[in-house]
Amino acid sequence: MTIYTKTGDKGKTSLFDGARVPKDDIRVECYGTVDELGTFLGLAKHHVNDEEMAGLIQKIQNKLFTVASILATEDPLKVKHHITEEDIKELEDIIDKYMGLLNNPTGFIVPGSNIKSAYLHVARTVCRRAERRIISLSKVSMIDELVIKFVNRLSDALYAMARYSEDEQVKVRY
């Protein structure tokens, strides 16, 4: 089986529901950024030395396929998998756990005192970009509010895991 179809050679791609759109369509930009996020999480997963955190990252990566499939489907009636309030609660539990282990610190830190925290911080910033792109899409197309909520909580969960993973909490000096 070949992976090239040649159908995208003229700058268009197919969404999950069969609609054809330009490759630079905001919808494609959204699910492409979510794909980038999942890939960075895959990289981060191989640098964390905490099996529980690696498992959480794996679970998040899987859930990002749900997010991407929703974003890659123009017709909401054709969406097969959904984000739930339970998915969001699981992210909130991650945030509470890791921030609690740090005694709920405040203030900015310089990210990346080691490679594991650095990769998690990169994932966090890609997640924030995905959120911004999804908000842009929501201005022209109906987007499930739980998707927006999930991505927002995910960036906080990634921040909590990244901050917990720092070897040193280097405070920002202005």
Q: Domain segments of the chain: what residues?
A: 16-165
pLDDT band at 153 (very low <50, low <70, confident <90, very high): very high
Is residue 10 pLDDT above 90, yes or no?
A: no
Rama region for 140: left / alpha / beta (φ>0; ψ in -120 to 50; rest): alpha
Predicted confidence at residue 115, as pLDDT, reads 97
* CATH architecture observed for domain 16-165: Up-down Bundle (1.20)
Is residue 3 pLDDT above 90, yes or no?
A: no
pLDDT band at 99 (very low <50, low <70, confident <90, very high): very high
**CB count in 10 Å sphere of residue 68:** 20
Q: From CA 40, how far away is CA 119, in angstroms rounded?
A: 7
Predicted confidence at residue 32, as pLDDT, reads 97
Strand ranges inside the chain, DSSP E: 12-14, 20-22
Q: What value does the mean pLDDT take over residues 27-39?
A: 97
Q: Are 129 and 33 in contact (CB under 8 A)?
A: yes
Residue 147, SS3 per DSSP: helix
More confident residue, 84 or 15: 84
Residue 38, SS3 per DSSP: helix
Is residue 4 pLDDT above 90, yes or no?
A: no
Q: From CA 106, how far away is CA 171, in angstroms rounded?
A: 10
